Amino acid sequence: MERSTQPQPEAAFEPLRPMLLRIAYRMLGSVADAEDAVQEAFLRWLDADRQAVREPEAFLRRVVTRLCLDTLKSARRRRETYVGPWLPEPTLESEVEDEADDITLPLMLALERLSPLERAAFLLHDVFGVSFDEIADTIGREPAACRQLASRARQHVRGERPRFRVSKQRGLEIATAFFAASRAGDMAELRELLAADVTTYADGGGRVPATREPVEGREAVLALHSSLARLFARRMSTLVRYAFVNGLPGFVTIEEGSTLQTTALEIEDDRIVAIYVVRNPDKLRRLGAPLVQ
């Protein structure tokens, strides 16, 4: 009896898992939902006629994308009733890690404004280099229609790609200065760090205290931090680490009430143009366990 040369399903799947997770996370903005989609894809891979699959990578990419499109339908309904600004679940990168596909937090927010099909076409083609023929097979549209979807998406997100990327070292220097000035209540130093049109977004999800609307303009952001300084005087933040949060320089802290928090800074011309704060514990559960051990 001949021994089958067909590789074990896990052996073919596991090398592709990181790529599939990157696609799913960028489609959904949630690590938990991305992991669920990839695990479901694995179960479908186990049930598939794998001998008939000529390109496992393309097959699994299609499965994950279709699962994400289904998930986005319900996710969008949930976000319509979300309390306060919605931000993607934070992910951390090491200082030396490259963000090869250039998907930073502002671009992920821009993707939220796209239709699910535009989002899929743009990510698969512009970020992951998938052909329009494969995209057409994945989303059930003609290749020409997929080109139009990606083109429309590209126009919508064009302004969200950084024109002049701040170096990692300089980004961490500014994050360090921002943390020190904001926690010490040094408004003069903060003023020097902030752009005139800076905006602060805080995602508490209705679970913990956070501003319900974006705070726009340097004076308004300074006023916010002036009030926060009184809280810090009572109990100072515990700095867990400086990090790159969704591709942006920032830091992880533990705040009053043992609340884990990430802060990410969008920087242009050495000034902070946006501050993204995630406090929703549902989005920090996976991040928190390894950080606070």
Q: How many other CB atoms sit within 10 Å of the CB of residue 49?
A: 6
- pLDDT, tens digit only, all 293 positions of the chain: 334 455 688 889 999 999 999 999 999 999 999 999 999 999 999 999 988 899 999 999 999 999 999 999 877 767 778 899 999 999 997 443 444 456 889 999 999 999 999 999 999 999 999 999 999 999 999 999 999 999 999 998 886 666 667 889 999 999 999 999 999 999 999 999 999 999 999 999 999 989 999 999 999 999 999 999 998 988 899 999 999 999 999 999 999 878 899 999 999 999 999 999 999 999 998 886 555 54
pLDDT computed for residue 288 by the predictor: 63
265 and 249 Cβ atoms separated by less than 8 Å: yes
84 and 206 Cβ atoms separated by less than 8 Å: yes
Distance CA 178, CA 270 (A): 12
pLDDT computed for residue 293 by the predictor: 46
pLDDT computed for residue 6 by the predictor: 56
Partners of 271 in beta bridges:
268
Q: In the CATH scheme, what architecture does the domain 168-292 have?
A: Roll (3.10)
pLDDT computed for residue 2 by the predictor: 37
pLDDT computed for residue 8 by the predictor: 84
Domain boundaries of the chain, sorted by first residue = 9-81, 168-292
79 and 86 Cβ atoms separated by less than 8 Å: yes
Q: How many residues does the chain have?
A: 293
